[in-house]
Amino acid sequence: MDKSQGQDGGAGGTSTRPYLIRALHDWCTDNGFTPYVAVHVDRSVQVPMEYVSNNEIVLNIGFDATSGLDLGNDFIQFKARFGGVAREIIVPVDHVVAIYARENGQGMAFPAPEPLAEGAPTTLPSSSPAPAEAPRRSGLRLASEATDDDGDDTPPPDAPSGSPRPSLKRVK
């Protein structure tokens, strides 16, 4: 890849990020892994703010955890249950800072987005309201697994004891 174009398009081409996200989502799904995305949160992201920590949220974007998943070129959109309540999630693709498999941590990291200028308009799709501010919790939680469709608040089991915790590996 031409370094002048960069990972996100740069020199006139379209961004590679949405294509890489879709490819890694397919790879996770085909191999029975759970695809997670880490998202940088600012006012252009529509997620439950009570699950955001340090301007970041981790979301399960597997088909079992989402409804109506659309991995578009500009936005990732879906519905997911948080605390038993269905919520509409809208994430600008350039705010995805990583996609990886929960089970083994393999995936890809991306550069964080440029900060929004003060007073700059948000770019959410016109059919969606801007995200509401809500109190933030300390500690990063996997928001889309806070509960499942049965209303069970039990998180999924962790990796078997004795095995190392998965870590994200950067692929160049």
Phi and psi at residue 108, to the nearest 5°? -145, 140
Domain that holds residue 102: 17-113+129-143
pLDDT band at 76; cut points 50, 70, 90: very high
* The pair of three-digit structure tokens given for residue 26, joined into one six-digit string: 């397919």
- Does residue 47 contact residue 76 with C-beta atoms inside 8 Å? no
CATH number of the domain at 138, please: 2.30.30.220
Residue 139 has pLDDT above 50, yes or no: no
In the predicted model, is pLDDT for residue 119 greater than 50?
yes
Residue 151 lies in a domain: no
What is the percent of the chain where pLDDT is above 70? 60
Answer yes or no: is 81 within a domain. Answer: yes
Whole-structure pTM over 0.85, yes or no? no
In-domain check, residue 172: no
**Nearest Cα residue to 149 out of 80, 50, 78:** 80
Amino acid (one-letter) located at 115:
P
DSSP state of 18: H
Rounded distance between C-alpha atoms, residue 96 and residue 111, angstroms? 9
pLDDT tens-digit profile of 44-71?
999 999 999 999 999 999 999 999 999 9
Domain count, the chain: 1
